[in-house]
């Protein structure tokens, strides 16, 4: 059951503050537990990973062979393979359009400058698997990495019953190189420092629960990470024209991910808020993960009745949700007012699960207000660039004195010398210049 709150400048602020608090990475108990796991893995390597994996997931880590991936693919129903291939094609298409290609041009001084773009060498992708199987997250992590030209993609996912044929088939479709059954903070630590057969990676991406999100944050610096993608969130902005069945269904679609998930309605219509509340009760009655949904809606769900859509947009920007749905008479008209969200869904026929599975943009998105500064996972997350400079004698000559003047101002005589020596007669060095 969700609480209905009348926006009055203070009550809704208290709700927003509570949602920020929920951020797992701020939870000191989780952070203490994660630190202990990571320090243990750093000190004792694979032995510690084995012990943690047994303790938290009931199984030791292991590597899935290519033959097992092939067999899993063959065992999946053809309609599921078709759907995954379709999703992978859309993700590939979207990311190819975003791909920053290398560029080079003539500089104002007549040299050539530019940059070349390369994929990160070895990337780890985390695929959650504690309470649900996420073949879609395999595609959303790995396909953009492949488009970026990453050399080696190492997938990790907990060794639970959620490591299904569908997850392995998705790994094959997306072109994952190695697939290792290990999850939680122990997986993050192993990929950070290397542990036995689990290799160290340059960058780790992907969503996960509070333990995974905290571990990634602690690992940052030793490796690069994409963002903090923790428990799922949805915020719907709706006016009186919205269908309460659709609004309730979309709120529930994210509430079912995790007891820490959040689902918020901002509406200009008190009547819609009441109708959505009733719909939530009705629909929860026939959905399978009702216990999780009831917890997340009770703790991190609410409907806030706003004075107008401008107030709703301002609140949404403050919350910076992972997913923002706009179900108003003219959804696109509100888009210019939105600054902070992981992904925006416009109109009644763009439900959040469309983005989770098939539209093409990634479903790995910033959570807990971090959409204020993080962007969705994409091909760009797997790229790095190097600048390239190429001048000739003729293009360097006219600017030599300026470079020398700048170097001498910094008292870096070797820098100045590097330029000067090129324009001296051979053998003129050491003559007191």
Chain residues that interact with ligand HSO, rule: CB under 6 A:
134, 136-137, 232, 254, 322, 356, 363
Annotated ligand binding at 186? The verdict is yes
Could you tell me which of 361, 369, 368 has the C-alpha nearest to residue 344?
361
Cα separation, 340 vs 315, in Å, equals 10
Residues in CB range of 334: below 8 A, 6 or more apart: 237, 309, 313, 326, 328
Residue whose CB is less far from ligand NAD, 374 or 407: 374
CA angle 225, 226, 229 (to 5 degrees): 110
- Min. distance of Cβ 223 from ligand NAD in angstroms? 18
Q: How far is the CB of 267 from ligand NAD (least distance, A)?
A: 24
Of residues 354-373, which lie at the interface with Zn ion (CB under 5 A)? 356
Contact residues toward ligand NAD (CB under 6 A) are 33, 56-57, 128-132, 134, 137, 158, 183-185, 207-209, 211-212, 229, 231-232, 257-258, 261, 322, 363-365, 367
Choose from ligand NAD, ligand HSO, Zn ion, none: what does 214 bind? Cβ within 5-8 Å by kind.
none
266: partner contacted, choices Zn ion, ligand HSO, ligand NAD, none (Cβ within 5-8 A by kind): none
CB 171 within 8 A of CB 155: yes
DSSP calls for 282-307: HHHTT-TTHHHHHHHHHHHEEEEE-S
415 annotated binding-site participant? yes
d(CA 374, CA 358): 22
In the list ligand NAD, ligand HSO, Zn ion, none, the entry touching 130 (Cβ below 5 to 8 angstroms by class) is ligand NAD
Report, as residue numbers or ranges, the catalytic residues: 322-323
254 appears as a binding residue in the annotation: yes
Residue 387 counted as an annotated binding residue? no
CB-wise, 279 or 322, nearer to ligand HSO?
322
Strand-pair category, 62-64 with 103-106: unpaired
Largest Cα separation within the chain, whole Å, is 92
CB nearer to ligand HSO: pick between 198 and 227: 227
Backbone angles phi, psi at 151, to 5 degrees: -75, -45
Q: Is 356 annotated as a binding residue?
A: yes
Annotated binding site for Zn(2+), which residues? Answer: 254, 257, 356, 415
Chain residues binding Zn ion by CB under 5 A are 356
């Amino acid at each position: 059951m969700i609480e209905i709150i009348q926006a009055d400048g203070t009550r809704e602020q208290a709700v927003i503050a509570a949602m920020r608090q929920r951020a797992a990475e701020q939870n000191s108990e989780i952070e203490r537990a994660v630190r202990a796991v990571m320090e243990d893995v750093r000190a004792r390597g694979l032995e510690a990973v084995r012990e943690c994996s047994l303790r938290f997931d009931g199984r030791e880590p292991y590597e899935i062979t290519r033959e097992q991936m092939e067999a899993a693919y063959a065992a999946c129903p053809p309609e599921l393979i078709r759907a995954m291939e379709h999703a992978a094609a859309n993700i590939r298409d979207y990311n190819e359009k975003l791909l920053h290609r290398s560029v080079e041009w003539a500089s104002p001084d007549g040299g050539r400058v530019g940059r070349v773009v390369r994929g990160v060498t070895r990337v780890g992708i985390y695929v959650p698997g504690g309470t649900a199987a996420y073949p879609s997250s395999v595609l959303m992590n790995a396909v953009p990495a492949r488009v970026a030209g990453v050399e080696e993609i190492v997938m990790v996912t907990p060794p639970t019953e959620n490591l299904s044929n569908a997850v392995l088939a998705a790994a094959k479709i997306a072109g994952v190189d190695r697939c290792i059954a290990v999850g939680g903070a122990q997986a993050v630590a192993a990929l950070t420092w290397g542990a036995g057969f689990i290799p160290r990676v340059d960058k780790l991406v992907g969503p996960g629960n509070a333990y995974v999100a905290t571990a990634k944050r602690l690992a940052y610096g030793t490796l690069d990470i994409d963002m903090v993608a923790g428990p799922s969130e949805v915020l719907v902005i709706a006016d009186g024209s919205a269908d309460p069945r659709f609004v309730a269904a979309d709120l529930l679609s994210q509430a079912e991910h995790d007891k820490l998930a959040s689902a918020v309605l901002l509406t200009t219509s008190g009547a819609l808020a009441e109708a959505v509340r009733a719909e939530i009760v009705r629909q929860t009655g026939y959905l399978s993960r009702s216990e999780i949904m009831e917890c997340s809606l009770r703790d991190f769900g609410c409907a806030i009745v706003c004075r107008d859509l401008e107030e709703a947009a301002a609140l949404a920007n403050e919350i910076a949700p992972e997913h923002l749905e706009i179900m108003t008479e003219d959804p696109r008209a509100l888009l210019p007012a939105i600054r902070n969200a992981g992904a925006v869904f416009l109109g009644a026929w763009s439900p959040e699960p469309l983005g989770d599975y098939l539209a093409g943009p990634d479903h790995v998105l910033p959570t807990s207000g971090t959409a204020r500064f993080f962007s969705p996972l994409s091909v760009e997350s797997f790229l790095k660039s190097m600048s390239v400079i190429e001048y000739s004698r003729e293009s360097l000559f006219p600017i030599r004195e300026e470079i020398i003047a700048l170097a001498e101002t910094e008292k870096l005589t070797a820098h100045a010398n590097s330029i000067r020596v090129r324009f001296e007669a051979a053998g003129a060095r050491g003559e007191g210049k």
